[in-house]
Every structure is written in structure tokens, then in C-alpha cells.
Amino acid sequence: MGKQHTDQRDRTMSLLRILYNETDESHPLPLTALVQRLEAAGIRAERKSLYRDLAAFKRHGIEVEYRPGGDGGWYLTGRTLDRSELRQVIDAVMVYPWMTDPVRASLLDKLASLAPAHARRGLRRPVLRPRRSAMDPADLRPVLDRLHAALQAGKAITFYPVDYGVEKTLRATGGRLVVSPKGLLWHRERYVLLAWDHRARAMRLFRPDRMAQVQLTGMPAQGPEVNLRHWTGAPFGLDPELRCRVCLRCRDGLAGEILDRFGRDVVLMPEEGGFSVLSEVVMGPAFWAWLTELGDQAEVVSPPWAAKVWAERCRSRGPSVTASQPPKAG
């Protein structure tokens, strides 16, 4: 062991580091152990001086507590995130698709460092993720930053709509658009922008990963106020014009699938051999494709036009259901 010193600032900061890295409610350190760890770092400390440091921590809002008993001692509490919160945040980072691997690894290291050293290994719970996006996540970040800036400032933006060609490069699919962002939605593991199209005078949906040269303008946002819940409150799509209240009759064993799709608040009404469910859906291609996958496990009861479409599909045994919206009135 090298030469010891008694610099108060070194002692105080080293004590805080030890409490941060090594202690929690289940792993307190008695005062003798704190003295030993400081001495191992070359810092001489007396019990009286450590008590003063611990009292100073409390005065400055650093929460330290003492647990009495034979296995008791001092420990740091009131961390920025508790163990349960850290697990949830880390799990979310693990599966978030719009993040590069180096950024993900760096962020996970930083999050794990918020816990004491003995708990960090258990916080790393790898999950395999499919990599299916054509766009590099790093390229999406500045687009999202500008969209959020426009939403916060209440300003319109301009951009070029783009898409990929067979050569796997982005190319413009139209002229520059001027839109007023209304909100960012999360649908099918990707972002979707809801915005008022100034030229079309209508609300439209855009994919941020298909927007190029996004620029914030000085023009105030236009268009009506929007209830975002109206766009996201029903499964199978984001188009409120295709929302329809549907009744399905389902066989036993399908309750889990229904709850996954419609949410736990949906009411399942028991019937002989199964149950029925009444809920709003976006009755577009995604709904019909899902229903087709279920085969004879579910059938449409209402509305009548949808029940007729489904009955005809079942009779014909065709490869797909082509109807995607209610018939036009009149």
C-alpha cells in the first residue's frame, strides 16, 4: 500500500464513489469496511470524519441510509432509476429498432453504470432483433429531430417524398411538399408522421424514413386540431375513415390472440363453443389478412356488409379477401 494522505476532498469523493459502486439496501457496508476501502485507496480516514461526510451527503440531497444489525451498514439510496426501472429501460433499448449497434452498446453501458457494480451483470439481458429496415438508423435521427422541433415550435416543414428503387438507393417520388406536423405515431415497429398537407388541404400520413431534405420553416402550422387517439385507437391500421365497429364470433382457444390484437379492455362475451367480441377496427387489408390467417377459428357477424364479404370469401376459398372498406353511401 502506498503512502496515505488525509485530503478531505479526496476522502469525501472517494467515500461517495464507494457507496455508489458497491452499496444498496441489500448490500450495506459498515463503517469499518468503509475505512478499509479508503485505506486501500491510500486515504486515511477516522470514524468521526466519515460520520461528518455522511451527514454532509444528506444535507446536500445525496440519500444515504443506515441499516442496523449484524449485517447492516451504510448504503446509497434514492438512485436516479431503481432496479426495476433500469430493467424496463434497458429492455426497451434492447428492442428499439431505430438505433445503431454502437449507440446501443454505449447507452446500455451508461444505463448499467447507474446500478451498483454487483447488479450490473444481471441488467444485461440480450434479445435477438431482426434487422429489416432499409434505412440506416443514424440517417433517421436528424429527420426525427427536425420533426420534433417543428411540433414543439408549431411550425410547418418542407421535404421531398422518396422511396427505394431496384438499385437500393433513395429517389424522389414527387415534388417538395409543405406540411404542418400534427404528431408522430408508432405503428408496426416504425414511426409515422401525421401532418396537414398544405396543397391537398387534407390530413395525410408520411413515413419519416421516406422523407428527404426535411427543413423547418418560419411558417406557422396550419390545419385543424387533431385527436391522435382517434388515429391510433383501433387495431389494423391508422386510417380513421376505415374505422368500423365489428362483431366477431370466435372459437375457444382464441382469447389470447384477441387480447393481443384488441387490448385487455375488450369484452369477451362467452357463447357455446367460444365467445364473441365487439370492437372498433380499421377494416382495411391488414384486418382481412389477419382474419384469413385465423381460418375457421373466427367469423364476422356484423356489420352485415362485412359478414357478407367474409361469407363469400369462405365459400369461394379464394387466396385473399379483396374488400378493404365499407361501401360508399348513396
Helix (H) or strand (E) holding 243: strand 243-251
Q: What is the pLDDT of residue 5?
A: 55
Q: What is the pLDDT of residue 130?
A: 75
CATH annotation of 137-228? 2.30.30
C-alpha–C-alpha distance, residues 61 and 56, integer Å: 9
Q: What is the pLDDT of residue 128?
A: 81
- Which residues in the chain come in under a pLDDT of 50? 1, 319-324, 326-330
CATH annotation of 8-76? 1.10.10.10
Prediction pTM value: 0.79
Strand segments, DSSP code E, in 252-303 are 268-271, 274-282, 298-302
Q: What is the pLDDT of residue 1?
A: 47
Q: Which residues have CB under 8 Å from 203's CB, separation 6+?
A: 182, 194, 195, 196, 197, 223, 224, 226
H helix intervals, 60-165: 83-95, 101-112, 117-123, 137-153
Between the CA of residue 84 and those of 73, 80, 89, 175, what are the distances in Å?
23, 12, 9, 48
Q: What is the pLDDT of residue 298?
A: 93
Q: What is the pLDDT of residue 288?
A: 92
DSSP code, position 29: B
C-alpha–C-alpha distance, residues 32 and 238, integer Å: 62
**Concatenated DSSP letters for 169-227?**
-EEE-SS-EEEEEEEEEEETTEEEEEEEETTTTEEEEE-GGGEEEEEEEEEEP-S----
Q: Give 45-90 pLDDT, tens digit per residue.
A: 888 999 999 999 999 999 999 999 889 999 999 888 988 999 999 9
Q: What is the pLDDT of residue 3?
A: 53
Q: Is the distance from CB of 16 to CB of 32 less than 8 angstroms?
A: no
C-alpha–C-alpha distance, residues 324 and 289, integer Å: 10
**Domain ranges (residues) in the chain:** 8-76, 83-123, 137-228, 233-316
Q: What is the pLDDT of residue 174?
A: 92
